[in-house]
Amino acid sequence: MLIANPDAKFQAYPDTLKNIMSVEKANESSAWLSQWSRLNHGSTPLHSLPDLATELGIADLLVKDESKRSGLGSFKALGAPIALVRLILREFPEQRFEPHGLLAGQYRSALADFTVISATDGNHGRALAAAAQSVGCRCVIVLHANVSVEREQAIAAYGAEIVRISGNYDESVEDAAALARKNEWRVVSDTSYEGYEDIPRDVMQGYGTIAAEIIETGLAFTHVFLQGGVGGLAAGIASYLWELQGERRPTFIVVEPEQADCLYQSAIAGKAARATGSVDSVMAGLACGETSPLAWRFLQPSVDFFMTIQDHEAVNAMRRLAAGSQRDIPLEAGESAVAGLAGLIRITDSPSLAAEVGIDAQSRILLISTEGATAPGVYAELVGESAMSVRARQQAWLAKA
């Protein structure tokens, strides 16, 4: 399903939003992160897929590959660390900690008794655990019933203490908040709720690094497809591009699972809303039942269309990227990473939908592949081959290019 957002605007980025998230703050966050040892040096690849573009009937299709951001395997490596650093700077102003020094572990003795906690579908918790390990503080991660054992083990590998619950993601968020109150820990969540906005803002601000790297290429896009979830990634990227490009910004389309349609429902209601489905989806990172109210403040005026897709469409998109072609590099993209491509395929398969969103033979489209095979077993089961096999084919393709 697809819905046009009547509140979307093509105008200058409002000062009311700039006072919350800005290019200036995003660039400061990016500078701090640039020296974190767990991030790979330089920008992540931006791949052109000309064969797939021709197949879809568009001029250009480019994919930003966040699986190469770090050993953590996803874009979340940009959000949790910067939120943790900014939290510590606010909590201990008298210590005069230096941001680069925090991420280098120079103050671990002073932070040994400081504990952070978060709920996660996997990637945010892994990034927070890695950041806490670097900083030297304690980390507790709450996992809901649908988080795979693979993802649990990947988080625990960074020294985090794991708490399992039987409910869904939204219930894990509530449990994490309750544990924080009981033990005087600090929640580092990527979703906001009443009275809790500073840290989710910092997480979203960290994602601006992706947008900054896109701007640096000098390329212009007519449409940008963004994953849904609670809305943090979409808000972080859309706000950055909107501030710089103003009324010339691209058309933004947000895609999410049909059973976790909280952003789609928010567009219908005109306010942050809850999903209407079961929430459980193969797109684990997007299986969120409630929109982040803070993210919605940015999405409501900037996202032009919201749409939902089915799980099998995501799986097909994973396989298409993994296969590659003569001119298209094979790409390792996880279940949540391909939502944008699945949405684009759905639209281009329908002349009426394509006309509605303005996609035609002149369109230049950007996708963000937000993660690699962060759960290798799940990836292999869905794609029909291992991530290692896909990476080997990618290297062979590069050798011939």
Question: Which of the residues 25, 64, 65, 121 is marked catalytic?
Answer: 121
CA distance 177 to 165: 13
In this structure, how many other beta carbons lie within 10 angstroms of the beta carbon of residue 397? Answer: 17
311 is catalytic: no
Closest to 49 measured CA to CA, from 380, 353, 331: 331
Burial of 161 (0-12, 13-18, 19+ CB in 10 A): middle
Question: CB neighbours of 47 closer than 8 A, spacing ≥ 6?
Answer: 62, 63, 65, 328, 329, 331
Task: Determine which one of 25, 76, 170, 261 is catalytic.
Answer: 76
Strands 305-309 and 364-369: unpaired
Q: For residue 225, which of 332, 134, 68, 338 has the smallest C-alpha distance?
A: 338
Q: Reply yes or no on whether 7 is catalytic.
A: no
* Catalytic (active-site) positions: 76, 121
